A and B are shown apart, each in its own frame.
Chain A
Amino acid sequence: MRHSTRIAVGPVQFRIGSDWRAPIAALEKLYAAYPGEDARPADATVRLFAARPWRRWLRPSVHIGGDFVVPDALPLPLSMGLLAAEMGMNLQVALGWRRHMLLHASAVAKDGCAVILSGESGSGKSTLAALLGEGDWRLMGDEFTLIDPATGDALAFPRAVSLKNEAIGEIAARVDAGRLGPLLAGTPKGDIRHLIPRADAVAAMHEPVRPALLLFPRFGGETAIEPMGEGEAFVRLTEASTNYIALGEPGFAALTRLVRETPAFGISYPDSAAGMALVEQLFAEARR
């Protein structure tokens, strides 16, 4: 393809090709500080392309393709090329990765122990992880958390955090402007702005961490903590995993172990400060 770049996030080496320069330039800016293992063959390929040659210029719209494709996925305008690239990268991991159990969850770590936050979009899991990652936690990822079936450890996938709507202002108030990507206004998912994880989070991205706490956050309503049984946590995590079935028995064993060894809670919280306090409190209790 005309333009391309390579990015390593956690264990995945991406090759991203594009018919336009802009999305590649934007990616290279966001991922400038990530280790570029240039000689390593790619695990996953993403393609950003124009459906017809003239659409590179005329009302350019970016189709997302690659090793795995979602039929009927709508293209995005070129101004949202960066979002298309991120969606393409997520798609390849969600559909193609087989080495680890993939949980649609954010995660943060402290002292070698991980808190895994699993929830639908809108649950605030990304925002909570991003905010904690600006404090004394290491951000592991805002979208995917990987579980190693052999050891039961959690592995990081610290792509650039995708901040949405209100979360943009909340984070922008706390971080250096140089760590924020361009504002993508009015995307199908609302306003989006990417946050580059802190250098320590990127430097530590290959270090495995013991899961210490499983949280299922729900944004809104009174502060509440509900202990969750092993069975329910198991069911919810199979639903949050894109490759649980494909892993076969190792996936079953890893998930069984995860819910047995890790205390799980559903939490509700009215605002980010309350949510962060809940995470700190439950983490302290889990480690006692």
Chain B
Amino acid sequence: MVDRVYRAAPPDALRIEPLGELTAVFDRRSMQTHLVISPLPEILAMMGNEAVSASSLAGRLAADFDLDGEGDVAVLVADRLAELAALGLVGEV
């Protein structure tokens, strides 16, 4: 599997409002509202402003959230990043 590298939207581009179980993300560049659920907000928050690969992000998430089965986490994170890229919230570097 290709380990793709992504960069999150710059912080001032997004307005993030938790609404109970959902999180509403308004993207000022696209004027679109995205309703997302965990772990997408956490992934966005963790990416900060640097370019990160799916595997390194998976490693950090696994450490922070004490997740088991690292291999599965990497696949899961890669999938979620691809979803975020389709929404335009992260861009492939």
Contacts and interface: CB of A to CB of B under 8 A. Distances in A.
B26 A234 contact: no
Contacts of B32: 245
A260 B20 CA distance: 9
Contacts of B19: 229-231, 234, 256, 259-260
B24 interface: yes
Most buried by B among A245, A252, A256: A252
Given A249-B26, A252-B15, A252-B26, A238 B21 contact: no
B21 A234 contact: no
A238 B32 CA distance: 12
Interface residues of B, number: 13
Chain A interface main SS type: helix
A248 B30 CA distance: 9
Contact of A229 (B15, B17, B21, B31): B21
Interface string B20-50: 1110101010011101000000000000000
B33 A230 contact: no
Interface in B42-62: none
Given A231-B35, A245-B31, A248-B31, A256 B17 contact: yes
Contact of A256 (B21, B24, B28, B31): B24
A32 interface: no
B24 A252 contact: yes
A249 B29 CA distance: 10
Nearest to A234: B19
B15 A234 contact: no
A19 to B, nearest CB: 40
A232 B24 CA distance: 11
Nearest to A228: B20
B4 to A, nearest CB: 29
A245 B15 CA distance: 15
Contacts of B31: 245, 248-249
Interface in A196-243: 229-232, 234-235, 238
A230 B19 CA distance: 5
Most buried by B among A232, A244, A248, A256: A256
Interface string A87-118: 00000000000000000000000000000000
A259 B35 CA distance: 14
B18 to A, nearest CB: 9
A231 B20 contact: yes
B20 A249 contact: no
A231 B20 CA distance: 6
A231 B17 CA distance: 10
A235 B17 contact: no
Nearest to A247: B31
Interface of A: 229-232, 234-235, 238, 244-245, 248-249, 252, 256, 259-260
Given A230-B22, A249-B15, 4 more contacts: A229-B20, A230-B19, A234-B35, A249-B28
27 contacts: A229-B20, A230-B20, A231-B19, A231-B21, A231-B24, A231-B35, A232-B22, A234-B19, A234-B22, A234-B24, A234-B35, A235-B22, A238-B33, A244-B33, A245-B31, A245-B33, A249-B15, A249-B26, A249-B28, A252-B15, A252-B17, A252-B24, A256-B17, A256-B19, A256-B24, A259-B19, A260-B19
Closest 9 CB pairs of A and B: A231-B22, A230-B19, A229-B20, A252-B26, A231-B19, A230-B20, A231-B20, A256-B17, A248-B31
